[in-house]
Amino acid sequence: MTKYNCTLKTSCFDLERTLDCGQAFRWRKQKDGSWFGVVMDRPLFIKQEGALLYLSCDPLDAPFWENYFSLDRDYGEMEALLALDPRTAPALSCSSGIRILRQDPWEALISFILSANNNVKRIMGIIERVCSVFGEPDEFQGKAYHKFPKPEVLAASSPEQLKDCGAGYRAPYIVETSKRIAEGYDLPALRTMEFADAKKKLLTFKGVGPKVAECIMLFSMDFDQAFPVDVWVKRISAYLYPGEDGKKAAKAAAERFGVWAGAAQQYLFHYARTMGLKEIDA
DNA sequence: AGCCAGGCTGACG
DNA sequence: CGTCAGCATGGC
């Protein structure tokens, strides 16, 4: 029986959507409806009942999880922005309550390198196998799990091992990037840089292009204005704003949503996937 | 059975 | 600078 030692109050928050919308890949729904995940070596069971979150953690860790789930922020303003425009208002029915998580930059770096030209379900499987092979095993309240692998471990791995996990042609990118991190690269330092500088730094990592860089910035470095453009965002952009291709999407989003551009991106990404949006011809 | 997926790399104009 | 073939893998 899971012990929930900590309670957090929320508003405008949907746990399931937040954990299952494709921004993080390690959360799993349990048979009892709770969710289990591991963040920066901390295992957690969590469940939502109305406005309350029940966490299986020491109350001393409450600030850590409040930060992870961005509970300090009020998304009401951002949702009002979407509701105001009849084009984006429909997205709220499936995306309302999603929050941008504050993930571990190292895990985000590796995870989104693996995400390139891939789909969410398969990404989750690859990362799960990478963790079970290279991550430190542990146990929490009777639940066996693996921590996310340390940079030194992935740096010492071989592309063949990673291919066995399903990483495909991205395997050498993981090894090469991990080596740089293991050598002491200060990834969290990018948080405090200017947007363009942080992005430029991320682009120097093998396997990191413009889209992956902005995912890392949005999901783990507090860059609220990051706006990753993938195939789904291209589709939803063309669908909502005829004539707006992928290149114009980010600029237009900055004008429309300002500091909420990243959050809006995730709402629209989830909206597009939920309704199974297909390619639109001209 | 193909087509597609939170795209990137390297080559070539 | 922009364009583009090739790429591993497995779910649908």
**Whose C1' is closest to the CA of A119: which nucleotide?**
B5
Q: State the nucleotide closest to A122 in CA–C1' terms.
A: C10
| Strand nucleotide closest to residue A121 (CA to C1') | C11
Contact A42, A92 (CB under 8 A): no
Q: How far apart are CA A220 and CA A107, in angstroms?
A: 9
pTM for the full model?
Answer: 0.98
A211 is catalytic: yes
A163 touches strand C (CB under 7 A): yes
A119 touches strand C (CB under 7 A): yes
Q: Encode chain A (282 residues) as per-residue pLDDT tens digits.
A: 899 999 999 999 999 999 999 999 999 999 999 999 999 999 999 999 999 999 999 999 999 999 999 999 999 999 999 999 999 999 999 999 999 999 999 999 999 999 999 999 999 999 999 999 999 999 999 999 999 999 999 999 999 999 999 999 999 999 999 999 999 999 999 999 999 999 999 999 999 999 999 999 999 999 999 999 999 999 999 999 998 988 999 999 999 999 999 999 999 999 999 999 987 754
Give me the pLDDT at residue A46, please.
Answer: 98
What is the residue type of A192?
T
* CB of A118 lies under 7 Å from some atom of strand C: yes
Looking at residue A1, what is its pLDDT? 82
List chain C nucleotides near protein: any atom < 7 Å from a Cβ. Answer: 7-12
Segment A55-63 long-range contacts (CB within 8 Å, at least 24 positions apart) = A55/A4, A55/A5, A55/A6, A55/A7, A55/A8, A56/A2, A56/A3, A56/A4, A56/A5, A56/A6, A56/A140, A56/A141, A57/A5, A57/A6, A58/A5, A58/A6, A59/A5, A59/A6, A61/A6, A62/A6, A62/A8
CB A148 within 8 A of CB A38: yes
Q: Which long-range contacts (CB under 8 A, 24 or more apart) does A44-51 make?
A: A45/A2, A45/A4, A45/A141, A45/A143, A46/A15, A47/A4, A47/A15, A48/A10, A48/A13, A48/A14, A48/A15, A48/A16, A51/A9, A51/A10, A51/A11, A51/A13
Within 7 Å of a protein beta carbon, the nucleotides of strand B are: 4-10
C-beta of residue A100 within 8 angstroms of C-beta of residue A262: yes
Catalytic hit among A47, A147, A199, A211: A211
